[in-house]
Amino acid sequence: MFKFSLRYKLILSVVLIEIVMLTIMVVNNVRTNTATVQERMLARAKTTIELFATTSTNALLTMDIGSLQEYVNQVGKGDDVVYAAVENPNRIILAHTDKNKVGEKILNFEDKDFLNASGGVYDISNPVNIAGRTIGAVWIGFSPKSAVSAIEKTRNQGIIIASAEVGISIIAALLVGIVLTNSLKKLVYATKGMAEGDFSKRVKIKSRDEIGELGAVFNEMAENLKHRTDEMKEAYHKLKDAQYQIIQSEKMASLGRFVAGIAHEINNPLDGIENCVNTILREPDNKKQLVEYLNLVLESFGKIEAIITQLKGYAHGYPLHRTRVVLRELLEDSISAMQGLLDKTGVEVKRVYEDQYNMVFGDTVYIKLKKILKGYLSHFLQQKRLAKAQDSAFP
């Protein structure tokens, strides 16, 4: 679909208004001029016929045909006169510019409209009266061509003047449209730049009208937006720095908790080893006890080695070793490893097991490390989601 620009809309509006106004003016002028010309021609015709009647009275009274013919010839030489004639009371032509019609009966009738006369000739008559008695009449036929020509000339002049005014209006509207739309184009270009994030765009409009005022307001708005954007960017960078510091702090804290948890898990079998060694030292000659506790020491070393191996698996992606794990045995091993510490602190363990929870499918060491890793990983994922949300909020 064709799209009219503001410039062409302005030109079209001005031209349409000019055409309507000038058409009304030309039509009104032609009507006025037509009425004026018709009134003037009617007045001239009436004056001429009255003078003709007065001049012809004596000759008509004495039936001086020669004088009547001379008067007719003189009247017939007038401008726009087609014919002149004199008739007697019986409407017989006594004198006529066309001598061949003398003696004929006149059949003309007076016309009412000068410009639209029948046969293209405006016929007008005037009776010749003496002492209240009609002794004849005079006739004059006028041609409306000169009047019509004058009217057409006036109309054509009006059309030419109107066309010239329309042309001047188009040029003026075009110049005004160029000035106006150029200023608006500058505003549109700058607005598009701001929409794309370039707040350095400014418009230079020197006019002191509403467009100039709009340009000044736009520049002020652009400056304020640029200032606010700079402040937001600065605040964003400060927030990112603070977020980085918080994440680093949390990472170190999480790492500390993780290491502490690992140390705690390793300390449990070490405490068991220490307890076994102390027991052996108290009774070194008890061979049965010595074998039992040395087996416990070896088992504790195996647990430490398994913990270290599983930590490497977390770091390098080693697969889990899932087996059937008897929870009762797992708990008993843990209690045995802690027995020396329990005895030292005077803690007594009371065992209550339920058969329905006796066995699970999993990795023994991973089960022990799960609590440590769960807290660390949960915190790490929470920090990652927080960072992603902030990146989405401040692209």
User: pLDDT tens across 194-233, in order?
Assistant: 777 776 767 776 666 666 666 677 677 777 777 787 788 8
Distance CA(283)–CA(46), nearest Å, equals 167
Distances (CA, A) of 134 to 24, 53, 60, 84, 175: 49, 12, 11, 19, 73
Dihedral sign, Cα of residue 153, residue 154, residue 159, residue 164:
positive
**H or E element, residue 361:** strand 359-362
Which among 37, 52, 164, 129 has a CA at the least distance from the CA of 97? 52
Name the more confident of 221 and 255. 221
Q: What is the pLDDT of residues 167-202, one digit of tens each?
A: 887 787 777 777 766 766 777 777 777 777 776 767
Q: How large is the average pLDDT for residues 132-157?
A: 87
Distances (CA, A) of 16 to 30, 84, 205, 315: 21, 51, 29, 83
Is the pLDDT at 374 greater than 60, yes or no? no
> φ, ψ for residue 105 (rounded to 5)?
-90, 130
Is the pLDDT at 156 greater than 90, yes or no? no
C-alpha R_g of the chain: 62
Q: What is the pLDDT of residues 14-51, one digit of tens each?
A: 778 878 887 888 788 888 888 888 888 888 889 999 99
Most confident of 16-25, 64-73, 265-274, 362-371: 64-73
Local structure of 59: helix, strand or coil? helix
Residue partners of 314: CB distance under 8 A and separation at least 6: 369, 373
Please report, as a single letter, which amino acid is at residue 188.
V
Query: Could you tell me which residues are beta bridge partners of residue 139?
Result: 85, 125
Distance CA(117)–CA(114), nearest Å, equals 6
Distance CA(371)–CA(265), nearest Å, equals 11
**Contact (CB, 8 A) for 170 and 11:** yes
- The neighbour count for residue 186, using CB atoms within 10 Å, is 18
Return the pLDDT at 278: 84
First to last CA, the chain: 38
- The neighbour count for residue 83, using CB atoms within 10 Å, is 19
- The neighbour count for residue 277, using CB atoms within 10 Å, is 14
Percentage, residues of the chain above pLDDT 70: 75
Q: CA 81, 50, 108: angle at the middle one, nearest 5?
A: 55
Distance CA(331)–CA(350), nearest Å, equals 12
Which among 88, 93, 83 has a CA at the least distance from the CA of 48? 83
Please report, as a single letter, which amino acid is at residue 179.
V
Distance CA(57)–CA(43), nearest Å, equals 21
